[in-house]
Amino acid sequence: MSTLAHDDHHDHKPTGLKRWFFSTNHKDIGTLYLIFALTMFFVGGSMAMIIRAELFQPGLQFVDPQFYNSMVTVHALIMIFGAVMPAGVGLANWMIPLMIGAPDMALPRMNNMSFWILPFAFALLISTLFMEGGGPAGGWTMYPPLVLQTGNAFPFLIFAIHFLGVSSIMGAINIIATVFNMRAPGMTLMKMPLFVWTWVITSFLLIAALPVLAGGVTMLLTDKYFGTSFFDAAGGGDPVLFQHIFWFFGHPEVYILALPAFGIVSQVIPAFARKPLFGYASMVYATASIAILSFFVWAHHMFTVGLPIKGELFFMYATMLIAVPTGVKVFNWVATMWKGAMTFETPMLFSIAFVILFTIGGFSGLMLGITPVDFQYHDTYFVVAHFHYVLLTGAVFALMSAVYYWLPKWTGYMYDERLGKIHFWLSLISSNVLFFPQHFLGLAGMPRRIPDYNIQFADFNAISSIGGFAYGLTQLLFVYIVLKCALGGKKAKPRVWEGAKGLEWYVPSPAPFHTFETPPKLTKEMLEH
Amino acid sequence: MKGNPKLKSSFHKILLALLLTPLTAIAEWGLNMTQGVTPISREIYSMHMVSLWVVTVIGIVVFSIMFWSIFHHRKSKGVKAAQFSHSTTVEIIWTIIPLAIIIALAIPATKLLIKMDDTSEAKITVKATGIQWKWKYDYLDEGLTIYSVLDNNSAEVSQRNSGIDPMQSENYLRDVDEAIVLPINTKIRILTTAADVIHAWWVPDLGWKRDAIPGFINDNWAIIEKVGVYRGQCAEICGSGHGYMPIVVKAVTMDDYTEWVSEKKIEQEAKNNTKDMVLTKAELMTKGEGVYKAQCIACHQATGEGIKGVFPAIAGSSVAIEADNRLRHVQQIIYGKGLMPAFGEQLSDVDIASVVTFTRNSWGNNTGDVIQAKEVSEARTKPNVITAGDSKKEKIAKGNIDELTKAR
Amino acid sequence: MFGFGYAMVPLYDVFCDITGINGKTSRVVENKNQSNVVSDRWVKVKFDANINGNLPWRLKPQVRNMKVQPGQFYEATYIVENMLDVDIVGQAIPSVSPQIASLYFKKSECFCFVNQLLKGYETKEMVVRFEVDKDLPDDVSSLTLSYTFFRAKSGNS
């Protein structure tokens, strides 16, 4: 098999700290992002373990309610902004230039900066946990007036969010600039792999949504310290306005987390079904229409604030409408598998689990979108179960799938397939034990964000906690598998998977430090997907 | 499911008839949403079941096809992969079918929502005000106000490492000292608002929750059809006591309700006039401990030590020890200070007297002080020592000074 | 989009005005002649009062219910009392429910238009002069006017 890389002796790279701190190489920065995301996954995960330990049985055993609330708050912020988003950006950094035949990202220095902002932002956020008065404890949604009762942690929270926003926007600009300017000749937009497409659309979402959040939290800041009253009824403001601003960002944010996952699954399933992706064009259009619709559904997070009935109806219809393009995607994945010649390596297993479990999350999402019934579901564990199905067994499973899929390309070695499969099955079982009972808890009337509960909820909470601990432990196995693979093992071929399509499989494994320094000449075969 | 005549589609009817029965049985095990005790809550339940079955059926169909494919179209069976990659007809079909399904769901949902929106013709209006962390209920037609706080037993058990097993108490964290009483078969309008942060008033058996937002008033309604006790809790995070502000609705017949209102009015009359009560120190301590558990424990904790950096300690605090600070201590409870709410309206003179006595003689605060109701009653009319140090006059927002002078 | 976040503030106000979200009743109408009394329709108006947070005031409506005819102006009085010996400035925020009714509830005079100063232990009667618009939808037979007194923001010093 021919490869498009330069000879290895050309492949010099800086060494030591300099390589990582001053890196402008998309692969190194991608690696940094991925390592950072994994670290944050464990930091946020240990907070989840504290939450599940406290909820293991009724009564208050380990933490104070105030600390519990700050765990709930910081867990969410870390998992969303620190784990899932950076992991997605890391994959984008690593793979987009390889997939479109570009030598690097378009703006390499900005790329470096957008990563190195993150550790500082999270240092700010996590440091608040050690302050007098504790970390932010008003929920990650930061609704005023409650969030204005936060102590010294408040300005840290706001500035951390500003930093995260700046970092994400720079990352998004970089991806857009790269994709629109640096594609190899012949790589037209509708020839791009779907992963690239989903990231382009995600980038537009980021650029449109995050500044709105930045505006909103800045208003919180001035309300608290500079005497404005955007959200203070006493000065003519309205606390509900913040919720509108927050969710105008917040709903697109959900798709910022989910769309790259759609992209990953659309790469993995065709590879292991040895069959082209079904309905490529409709996938692109479905992704774009989900992104556009996501700006018109925000108030479904606020059905109980007392919206006028016309508003409630509008947002109910718009929300239900999202089910259509999402359905198209699921059907396309199933059709891709249909009459394929499938094998079930770890990436494929995670992707299939994604399709099923994300769809379950989508089903409960459809139910939540029905306004009158949402009056019962809202702010209960049914919602908690819903968004964890979408984000953990959805987004995180897809990210796991991506890591297994491309890990041999990154390290040059095959990961341990047997351990990978064990990791998959344990994750699959434990995450369902963790989150499925939470549907029942919510339906039975358990509100979210409470540190202690009535005894009628005891059984399901205990089951859920056991699932939680099992899931947490299982992820240590993942770290072991990745480390083992990075250090050695069976040599990986350039085309790691028999059915894998795309330009990234035409460079050697591991991918050399510099690739595509001169634009590759693309053949018809290279452009298949 | 006779409760839902509006569902015209026979598809729905068949689903409901065939599939609802087993799940109704499961509901008793706390797996499913409650059917509740109002016409609306039952309709919400059926809407929930319809959507649940719709998605279940879709899921079964789609995933059966997928798993059939997974079992048959695998490389190990020697299958050669087909290479088709699109089919416009199929794609149009699977865009239209979901669209049709959601339209079928949206129609009954719209009707139900419009029905829920109509709060007119209510016989009784009750206003629920969320306060960190209790509920205040005003019966607007009766001029009656009650406060509803987590019951003492739960408050005690819920302390961190209290050593008491919560499994002993069936209504752990779901009981209050004073439930709201509502008549059955009467349209009741429930207004929600809040005094500090956003709360949400939720009783699952009534079928809905509604946010309580400071400065704004939301309304909703219910017709309770069955005598009984219905429990719920605050559903919007409102600070550290969020899990500790339950809601208990006691539904009674109209006659019992009228009787309860008049009894309550007499009781409150008596409560407002306790300034002449004189109790022994032991009586004050017992009563005070009860008041403390109900009102103070969420922040100041059972140990009186509060939570560092958030809620100040009473144990060892100068306000609760020094003799000069007796008036300040009493007035701080009457008027509140900073985040601490004012209890002057909620607690009677004798309640405040007893809790002050209790806190000045517990956890090493051995002042030996005995405070009687009379002292509290006097403190209510004395100049406020808490704000005395502050400027005599609060600043007036700039643009409004002219109007203010005019107004006077 | 950052600017858009801010633009949402005035946009939201306009939106609330048009739709009556949150029962905001910011409209002020001229005190017109009362000649255009319409119909024999009667609407029940309930008066409600709230105090926010630690404002040591007491607020209550003089009458709790009033029957009014749409198109006619009425006056209602609230009694507000400062329970402390210091001067305090408060601001009242009105809210009308059901929301739809807030579009048809018009005030020509209201103590909520400006900050209110109460001296130590002062008791004041405060008046709201209002009209229920004759276009009030037929299915609204009663509405609630609720005031919440907040401690006024001290302004930028």
**A216:C5 CB<8 A:** yes
- Give residue C121's pLDDT: 82
- Confidence tier at A527 by pLDDT (50, 70, 90): confident
Farthest-apart Cα atoms in chain B, separation:
95
Which is more confident, B180 or A9?
B180
For domain A25-232+241-527, the CATH architecture is: Up-down Bundle (1.20)
Of residues A113, A127, A98, the one with CA closest to residue A33: A113
Q: What is the 3-state secondary structure (H, E, C) of chain B?
A: CCCCCCCCCHHHHHHHHHHHHHHHHHHCCCCCCCCCCCHHHHHHHHHHHHHHHHHHHHHHHHHHHHHHHHHHCEHHHCCCCCCCCCCHHHHHHHHHHHHHHHHHHHHHHHHHHHHHCCCCCCCEEEEEEEECCEEEEEECCCCEEEEECECHHHHHHCCCCCCCCHHHCCCCCCCECCCEEEECCCEEEEEEEECCCCEEEEEHHHCEEEEECECCCEEEEEECCCCEEEEEECCCCCCCCHHHCEEEEEEECHHHHHHHHHHHHHHHHHHCCCCCCCCCHHHHHHHHHHHHHHHCHHHHCCCCCCECCCECCCCCCHHHHCHHHHHHHHHHHHHCECCECCCCCCCCHHHHHHHHHHHCCCCCCCCCCCCCHHHHHHHHHCCCCCCCCCCCECCCCHHHHHHHHHHC
Q: What is the pLDDT of residues A12-46, one digit of tens each?
A: 677 778 888 888 899 999 999 999 999 999 999 99
**B160:A277 CB<8 A:** no
- Which of C51, C97, C151 is opposite residue B218, by nearest beta carbon? C97
Residues of C in contact with B125 (CB under 8 A): 46, 144
Strands B134-139 and B144-148: antiparallel
Q: What is the pLDDT of residues B317-367, one digit of tens each?
A: 888 888 888 888 888 888 887 778 788 888 888 889 999 999 998 888 888
- Give residue C26's pLDDT: 52
Residues of C in contact with B387 (CB under 8 A): 84, 86
Which chains does chain A touch, 3 or more C-beta pairs < 8 A? B, C
φ, ψ of residue B82 in degrees (nearest 5):
-70, 160
Ranking A110-114, B35-39, B120-124 by mean pLDDT, the lowest is B120-124
- Give residue B393's pLDDT: 40
- Per-residue burial over A328-350, b if 16 or more Cβ lie within 10 Å, else e, is bbbbbbbbbbbbbbbbebbbbbb
| Residue A247, token pair as written in the block | 């969710």
**C16:A244 CB<8 A:** no
- Which of A59, A340, A454 is opposite residue B81, by nearest beta carbon? A340
Of residues A320, A318, A411, A404, the one with CA closest to residue A354: A404
How is chain A split among helix, strand and coil, in percent rounded to 5? 75, 0, 25
Of residues C84, C116, C87, C57, the one with CA closest to residue B393: C87
Helix (H) or strand (E) holding B78: none
User: Cβ of B288 under 8 Å from any chain C Cβ?
Assistant: no
Q: How far is CA B125 from CA B128, B204, B213, in A?
A: 10, 19, 18
Active-site residue list of A: 75, 104, 140, 167-168, 251, 253, 255, 266, 300-301, 326, 329, 448
Distance from C-alpha of A448 to C-alpha of A442, rounded to nearest angstrom:
8
Residue of B nearest to C86 (CA): B392
- Which of A232, A245, A310 is opposite residue C5, by nearest beta carbon? A245
Of residues B384, A281, A150, the one with CA closest to residue C88: B384
- Give residue B21's pLDDT: 45
Would you say residue B7 has pLDDT above 50? no
Which A residues in the span 194-223 are in contact with C, Cβ-Cβ below 8 Å? 207-216, 218-219
Residues of C in contact with B335 (CB under 8 A): 54, 56, 83-84
Distance from C-alpha of A462 to C-alpha of A55, rounded to nearest angstrom:
7
Residues of C in contact with A240 (CB under 8 A): 21-22
**Number of separate helices (H) and strands (E) present in chain B:** 12, 10
Report domain extents, chain C: 2-27+40-151
Would you say residue B78 has pLDDT above 80? yes
DSSP line for A303-314: GGGT--HHHHHH
- Confidence tier at A6 by pLDDT (50, 70, 90): very low
- Which of A327, A364, A455 is opposite residue B170, by nearest beta carbon? A455
For residue A133, the Cα-to-chain-centroid distance in whole angstroms is 30
- Which of B66, B76, B80 is opposite residue A337, by nearest beta carbon? B66
Of residues C138, C147, C152, the one with CA closest to residue C46: C147
How far away is chain C from the Cα of A245, in angstroms, using its nearest Cα? 6
Report domain extents, chain A: 25-232+241-527
Local structure of residue A121 (DSSP, 8 states): H
Mean pLDDT of A102-128: 94
- Give residue B390's pLDDT: 46
Distance from C-alpha of B231 to C-alpha of B202, rounded to nearest angstrom:
9
Ranking A39-43, A92-96, A340-344, B270-274 by mean pLDDT, the lowest is B270-274
Mean pLDDT of A286-291: 93
How far away is chain A from the Cα of B150, in angstroms, using its nearest Cα? 13
Would you say residue B28 has pLDDT above 70? no
Of residues A68, A145, A447, the one with CA closest to residue B235: A447
Q: What is the pLDDT of residues A355-409, one digit of tens each?
A: 999 999 999 999 999 999 999 999 999 999 999 999 999 999 999 999 999 999 9
Ranking A193-207, A510-524, C3-17 by mean pLDDT, the lowest is C3-17
ipTM for the predicted complex comes to 0.90
* Beta carbons within 10 angstroms of residue A504's beta carbon: 26
Q: What is the pLDDT of residues A159-180, one digit of tens each?
A: 999 999 999 999 999 999 999 9
Residues of A in contact with C152 (CB under 8 A): 234-235
| Residue C113, token pair as written in the block | 């238009």
| pLDDT, tens digit only, all 157 positions of chain C | 677 777 777 777 777 666 666 555 555 555 555 555 566 788 888 898 888 877 888 888 988 888 888 888 888 999 998 887 788 888 888 888 887 888 888 888 888 878 888 888 888 898 888 888 888 888 788 888 889 888 876 533 2
CATH code for residues B281-381: 1.10.760.10
DSSP line for C83-135: -SSSBEEEEEEEEEESHHHHTTEEEEE-TTSS-EEE-TT-EEEEEEEEEE-TT
Rg (CA), chain B: 29
**B125:C144 CB<8 A:** yes
CATH code for residues B124-156+171-271: 2.60.40.420
Strands C43-51 and C142-151: parallel
The answer to whether A77 and A159 are in contact (CB under 8 A) is no
Residue recorded with tokens 């950076």: A86
Mean pLDDT (chain A) is: 92
Mean pLDDT of B17-36: 60
Q: How many percent of chain A have pLDDT more than 70?
A: 98
Which B residues in the span 71-130 are in contact with A, Cβ-Cβ below 8 Å? 73-76, 79-87, 90-91, 94-95, 98-99, 102, 105-106, 109-110, 112-114, 116-117
Local structure of residue C61 (DSSP, 8 states): E
- Give residue C30's pLDDT: 54
Strands C65-68 and C43-51: antiparallel
B88, B160, B396, best to mutate vs chain A, most A CBs in 10 Å: B160
- Give residue C21's pLDDT: 60
Report domain extents, chain B: 10-69+88-116, 124-156+171-271, 281-381
Distance from C-alpha of B28 to C-alpha of B30, rounded to nearest angstrom:
5
Helix (H) or strand (E) holding C151: strand C142-151
- Give residue B402's pLDDT: 35
How far away is chain B from the Cα of C10, in angstroms, using its nearest Cα? 19
Distance from C-alpha of A499 to C-alpha of B121, rounded to nearest angstrom:
68
Ranking A149-163, B150-164, B189-203 by mean pLDDT, the lowest is B150-164
Residues of B in contact with A276 (CB under 8 A): 83-85
Distance from C-alpha of B195 to C-alpha of B135, rounded to nearest angstrom:
10
User: Cβ of B240 under 8 Å from any chain A Cβ?
Assistant: yes
Would you say residue A307 has pLDDT above 50? yes
Helix (H) or strand (E) holding A127: helix A108-127
- Give residue B396's pLDDT: 37
Residue of A nearest to B110 (CA): A313
The three-class DSSP label of residue A14 is coil
How far away is chain C from the Cα of A211, in angstroms, using its nearest Cα? 4
C64, C97, C141, C154, best to mutate vs chain B, most B CBs in 10 Å: C97
Ranking A61-65, A189-193, B288-292, B340-344 by mean pLDDT, the lowest is B340-344
How far away is chain B from the Cα of C37, in angstroms, using its nearest Cα? 23
The three-class DSSP label of residue A211 is helix
The superfamily (CATH) of domain C2-27+40-151 is: Ctag/Cox11 (2.60.370.10)
Q: What is the pLDDT of residues A206-264, one digit of tens each?
A: 999 999 999 999 999 999 998 888 898 877 788 999 999 999 999 999 999 999 999 99
